A and B are shown apart, each in its own frame.
Chain A
Amino acid sequence: DQQVKQNSPSLSVQEGRISILNCDYTNSMFDYFLWYKKYPAEGPTFLISISSIKDKNEDGRFTVFLNKSAKHLSLHIVPSQPGDSAVYFCAASATWGGADGLTFGKGTHLIIQP
């Protein structure tokens, strides 16, 4: 039973346009959400996070939106750049400050086309 779902295995976007990556979750206990980026042969790198008390968090070109009622979050990248081509993982945690690990989705492979 997958608690964090990324339903698009891949996404192709033109350079300069907006990339929107989506993530759905089923566990209503999740209260902290993160996005990670992963290049081949490297470990995941933290990108941006959001807690359940917010509905939006911005960091430069990256914005994460959280819709708690729909149990849905999205990552917006504007403008998309060639270096953004990577696999993006959505992850969630059930207890802020607890010792539980992160629950990851399967990832979305973002391809930025020139």
Chain B
Amino acid sequence: ETGVTQSPTHLIKTRGQQVTLRCSSQSGHNTVSWYQQALGQGPQFIFQYYREEENGRGNFPPRFSGLQFPNYSSELNVNALELDDSALYLCASSRSGPREKSGYTFGSGTRLTVV
């Protein structure tokens, strides 16, 4: 298994800009979740996609959006970037569906800095 790959590893954006982060899951992984980890904090759930549809969302505004594609890749889009969006963004995928919480494989994350 190749694991979960996230790109880019680091990114610097200006306040007000838009950003797209990418995640490539393993074959057969039908569920993908995105988390935001601010410095010194634990990961915070943004949303989850199951079979290309959003089926769960944390306490994040609509300017955080996502897509899941048939080839097991996914995207996290953030519009109108704010300084507080600076964080490590983690993608986690699973072949077990949304029921099996322990089946998630996390990527190494994308470090986003908003200046």
Contacts and interface: CB of A to CB of B under 8 A. Distances in A.
A32 B56 CA distance: 17
Main SS of chain A's interface residues? Answer: loop
Chain A interface bracket (under 10, 10 to 19, 20 to 34, 35 or more) = 20 to 34
A41 B111 CA distance: 10
Interface stretch (A11-19, A65-73, A74-82, A99-107): A99-107
Central interface residue in B42, B45, B48, B92, by most chain A CB within 10 Å: B42
A91 B45 CA distance: 11
A4 B45 CA distance: 13
Contacts of B99: 96-97
A106 B41 contact: yes
Contacts of B56: 98-101
A44 B45 contact: no
Interface of B: 4, 33, 35, 40-48, 50, 55-56, 58, 90, 92, 98-99, 101-109
Interface of A: 4, 6, 32, 34, 36, 41-46, 49, 89, 91, 93, 96-107
Given A45-B106, A97-B99, A106-B40, 10 more contacts: A4-B42, A99-B56, A99-B98, A100-B56, A101-B33, A101-B58, A102-B101, A104-B35, A104-B44, A107-B42
